[in-house]
Amino acid sequence: MTEDPYEGLLGIMQSEGAKFNPPSFCLGEVVSVSPLNIKVDELILYPDDFLIADYLLEGYKRSLKVSSKGTITNNGKSSMNGTLLSSTQNTSGGSGDDSFASHNHTINDQATLNGTCEASGQYTLEGESEVEYEGYLKKGDILALMPMDGEQLYVVLCKAVSIE
């Protein structure tokens, strides 16, 4: 039986067209967290098989800058435990002597409040810190992946969730 020339031509067109189409996204499921293994269809990806967005990894660190001013009003049932670094708003008064010039006070104290807390007044919070993320991925999580050419390497883009 002779080969259908149109079938051969169609095969060539599909093959050549695929070279210029970017790979599409796919979904994978976390099957193990340590080490991180991801299942895509029936294929298990091991750490050497993918690159992953840094913010998905445990221990990922990022700088955080805080700047906030305003009025705090709290009239009940709050608790706080930790170090409070802040300052009062500028204030001045009196006779014009240097001791009465506009100034603020640094608050740097260990604050432990449990139960009912009532407070009000002006505040200023400013500073920089580093935030370290705990483990984010869990077994069974669904991830959005982008296979690279030839599906020899995948890029893990994000965790995908449904809105329920």
Task: Give the model confidence (pLDDT) of 96-153 as tens digits.
Answer: 666 667 766 666 554 544 445 556 667 777 888 888 888 889 999 999 999 987 778 9
Kindly list the structural domains of the chain, giving each domain's residue range(s) and its CATH number in brackets, ordered by start: 23-59+134-160 (2.40.50.140), 61-92+100-132 (no CATH)
Least confident of 9-18, 24-33, 103-112, 130-139: 103-112
Pick from 21, 22, 19: nearest CA to 147: 22
pTM over 0.75: no
| Residue 162 near residue 145, CB atoms below 8 Å | no
More confident residue, 74 or 27: 27
Residue 73 confidence (pLDDT): 67
Is pLDDT at 85 greater than 60 in this prediction?
Answer: no
Output the CA–CA distances (angstroms, integers) from residue 86 to 27, 90, 109, 127, in the order listed: 46, 12, 9, 9
Whole-angstrom distance, CA of residue 158 vs CA of residue 164: 18
| Length reported for the chain | 164
The model's confidence at residue 72, banded by pLDDT at 50, 70 and 90, is: low
